[in-house]
Amino acid sequence: MRPAVDCTLDDIPEWIAIFGACPACMRGEQIYKSRLVRMFGKGALLVQIEKRLRCTRCGGRGANRFALKKIPRD
């Protein structure tokens, strides 16, 4: 996978889960790649989408980040 700066949604394989993390209230929740692709397109850069993340608990913006985690493969 390319460095996060150049990483697009299309670069993320299906065995990687995408999470949004809010440092203000410590909330973290999985964000489904299919939803992000519908909203932004498969060529959207993660760093550009990250700027638009909004926490659903506290409403915080700007400091929210993506976290990527490898999920078990069958």
Please tell me what DSSP assigns to residue 68. Answer: E
Nearest to 56 by CA among 19, 18, 22, 17: 22
Q: Record the pTM.
A: 0.80
Q: What is the pLDDT of residue 73?
A: 72
CB 19 within 8 A of CB 28: yes
Q: What is the pLDDT of residue 1?
A: 44
Q: What is the pLDDT of residue 2?
A: 45
- The set of residues, in sequence order, having a beta carbon less than 8 Å from that of 19 and lying 6+ positions away, is 28, 29, 30, 31, 66, 67, 68, 69
CB 21 within 8 A of CB 66: yes
